Structure 1
Amino acid sequence: MKIETIAQNIVDNSEKKLKEIYFVACGGSLVDMYVANYLLEHESLTLTSGWFTSNEFVKFPPKRLGKQSLVILCSHSGNTLETINAGKIAKKAGAQTVGFTFNEKADLLETADYSYIYDWGNEREVSNNPMALIMTLAVEVFERIEGYNNYSNFKEGLERIDTIVAHAEDLVQQRAKAFANARAGEKIFNIIGSGATFGQIYGFAICSLMEMQWLNAVPINSAEFFHGPFEVTDKELPFILTLSIGRTRSLDERVKKFLDRYAQKIEVIDAKELGLDLINESVAEYFNPVLFYSVLSQYRKALANVRQHPLDVRRYMGKVKY
């Protein structure tokens, strides 16, 4: 079923009385939902949205949850127990549910009212990956409930993002290898970004570095950098700083100015340099994390190669009881 069809069915079944959209998942799937929630928080006048890790949603669901709610669930495996339980809680409350997964035989498919099985593996076709798909569903529902002034610009952005990402991946190949060769021996990284990008900053820290490389990492919002974190800055601590396009770019640039003066091990990844300004400025900021996910994936791949630590190796996940 197409995203547009799912959105229309949801709106019709709510008799256009939908009031809340909740995004619920764990780990990388939760990270993929950050930008959709961010967009609704900043663009909608009538829709309340919330971003929840699944187990917290189960233990402490929002009081507003009910027939006027939509709960969007995502689990790559489709069998994440916490997310399936969250779906059951949502349905019991009368909410409509949508499940996103890669697995055609997923248990999540039996829990959700609507399901979308996405493609996976081709990082250049990001418009078909869960981050872009979930954001698209949110926009399609938003458009039908309230109307989105930049709807056509958003749809145009979706058409352009794959080409932009492919070009950006090619552009950073040598840069990523040089970074990996220089930083393979580091034990901790500060990852910094702002706005819609912060979800990817968090995700790169907890999933790419901590989970996949067993490296300590600290995700920092650029707006918070000067309210504590900057005190650890020195010439030995490595930083990865993303420069977003959009209203929060000045926050990132302020951090860069400080790091250029007081730090030495700085890797800057600039969305403007990588071509994101080819998307209309009214919506480009919401495509920052889509771009940065694919670009940062090149960095983690290069780091894994140099460190000889494959990205799929785990110490505890799926190996011990927890």
Structure 2
Amino acid sequence: MPDLDTLVEEAKKSELFTTPQLADDMRRFLDQHRPAALALAAEARERGIKTVFFTGSGGSWSAMYSGKYFADRFTTLTTDAQLSYELIWRNPQRLGPDSLVFAASYSGETEDTVAALRFAKEAGAWTVGLANKPDSTIATEADTAIAYESSALYAMPMAAVSLFALEWGRLEGNKEAEEVLAAFDALPDIIAKAFEDCREPSLEIARALLPAQELYCVAAGPLYGLAYKFALTVFMENIRTHGSVIESAEFRHGPAEMLERQHPTMVFLLGTDESREMTQRSIDVAEANGAQVVVYDVADYPGLHPLLAPFVMKVPLQWMVVHSALLRGILDLDDRVFMGRNVLSKGGARWP
């Protein structure tokens, strides 16, 4: 097998190892698409939109979580973040002409999200598609589309819905929302520095985690969506190991009891927002009772706004996952056994 440095350089060509280009992609997104995302908020207010649904599947849903987080925190909007098929199955009574539905899909062809988009349109909702390519089904069938043309399938749609929600809050007079909007300008440089600084430490973490067969990802607040993404759509998908997500406070309501007989491997995302104290409490209990604990601390990234932590914390996590995959003999980071092979999809969808 080639040496690890050679494998890493080859991995940088992977479509789904997005971190090497993330700083440049974020800078370009802010230049090209920030005005459209902000304008959406103003237009939605003019249209009398009362409810916003954020929909997606897998990693796209985890990006939509941030839209709801910011909308709930900074606006008086009624919002929901639903997995794509759940939107259809629940058939919300609020879904109608005075609602807006964000539908996020990197490929723009996700079976679940195409179905949710069409369902929302039939209900009379205003639909906004978030996809990589402008000629995808999601982008062409949505009433409005942001085609971000980047492999950053988590960060770009997350930026779109976060900017939308924050701008809505700003228009309602929320000063903190205005401060968070301004903090976006610092993201590209912080991401670039993190990419350079995290390579070697992440390799050491990957080596330490090599025996692990199950990885729990624990977080809260603005970082919960990122924990969901890595536990359920990265650890299992890219490392091919068991994975699960736990919200920091919920660790106390059942999961902690496993420590009596198990010594799990737990990856904690420690924010600098209001959830920090609770996450630290969970870390302390896990360490004191024999768990193998890895902590990614937002405090290690100066200048990063606490609420924008997911954009940067993705970087060390992805470095760790890339190293873990390579060390486990998974050399093609884009290859999948079931996904994209018409095993999990139906109706001609090119992706689950």
Q: Give the structure-2-normalised TM-score.
A: 0.82
Structure 1 equivalent of residue 132 of structure 2: 102
Give the match for residue 71 of structure 2. Answer: 40
1:30 to 61, 64, 69: 61
Following superposition, the deviation at residue 116 of structure 1 comes to 0.7
Name the CA distance, whole Å, in 1 between partners of 2:236 and 2:34. 33
SS in 2 for 1:272: helix
Q: Give the alignment of 1:310-321 within 5 angstroms.
A: 310-321=332-343
Question: Match for 1:248 among 275, 292, 304?
Answer: 275
User: Is the 2:221–2:275 Cα contact (8 Å) retained in structure 1?
Assistant: yes
Counterparts of residues 265-280 of structure 1 (less than 5 Å): 265-275=292-302, 278-279=303-304
Deviations 1:71-97 (A, max 9, x none): 111110011122122112212222111
**For 1:38, what is the secondary structure of its paired residue?**
helix
**Corresponding residue of 1:183:** 209
Q: 1:97 to 1:3 in 2, by over 3 A?
A: farther
TM alignment of 1:118-267, pairs within 5 A: 118-121=148-151, 129-144=156-171, 146-233=172-259, 236-267=263-294
The one-letter amino acid paired with 1:118 is Y
Question: 1:255, 1:138 → 2: CA distance?
Answer: 30
Q: 1:264 to 1:175 in 2, by over 3 A?
A: farther
Measured after TM superposition, the shift of residue 295 of structure 1 is 2.1
Closer, same or farther: CA 9–160 of 1 in aligned 2, 3 Å: closer
Give the one of 80, 88, 106 matched to 1:76.
106
Q: CA deviation at 1:141?
A: 3.4
Residue segments in structure 2 that go unaligned for 5+ positions in a row: 1-31, 345-352
**C-alpha separation between the residues in 1 aligned to 2:321 and 2:57?**
20
What SS does the aligned partner of 1:250 have?
helix
- In structure 2, do the counterparts of structure 1 residues 113 and 189 end up closer, same or farther at CA, with 3 Å as the change threshold? same
Cα distance in 2, alignment partners of residues 10 and 172 from structure 1: 36
Contact 2:37–2:160 (CA under 8 A) maintained in structure 1: no
- Asked if the contact 2:133–2:149 (Cα under 8 Å) also holds between the matched residues in 1, the reply is no
Residue-by-residue CA offset, 1:269-322 (whole Å, 9 max, x unaligned): 1001122xx24xxxx332122122222111111111111213323221122433
Q: What is the distance in 2 between the residues matched to 1:150 and 1:82?
A: 35
User: Residue 288 of structure 1 aligns to a residue in which SS?
Assistant: helix
Structural RMSD (CA): 2.2
Query: Helix, strand or coil: the match of 2:136?
Result: coil
Q: After TM superposition, which residue ranges in structure 1, 4 or more long, deviate above 6 angstroms?
A: none
Contact map agreement 2:96 2:123 (CA 8 A) in 1: yes
Query: Could you say if the C-alpha distance between residues 95 and 237 of structure 1 is closer, same or farther in structure 2, counting changes exceeding 3 Å?
Result: same
Q: Distance in 1 between matches of 2:180 and 2:266?
A: 32
**One-letter amino acid of the structure 2 residue matched with residue 217 of structure 1:** G
- Report the equivalent of 2:117: 87
Contact 1:104–1:117, Cα closer than 8 Å, also in 2:
yes
Q: Pick 1 or 2: higher relative contact order, CA cutoff 8 A, min separation 6.
A: 2
Separation in 2, partners of 1:76, 1:97 = 16
Q: Which runs of 5+ in 1 are unaligned?
A: none
TM-score, normalised to structure 1, is: 0.89
Letter matched to residue 312 of structure 2: L
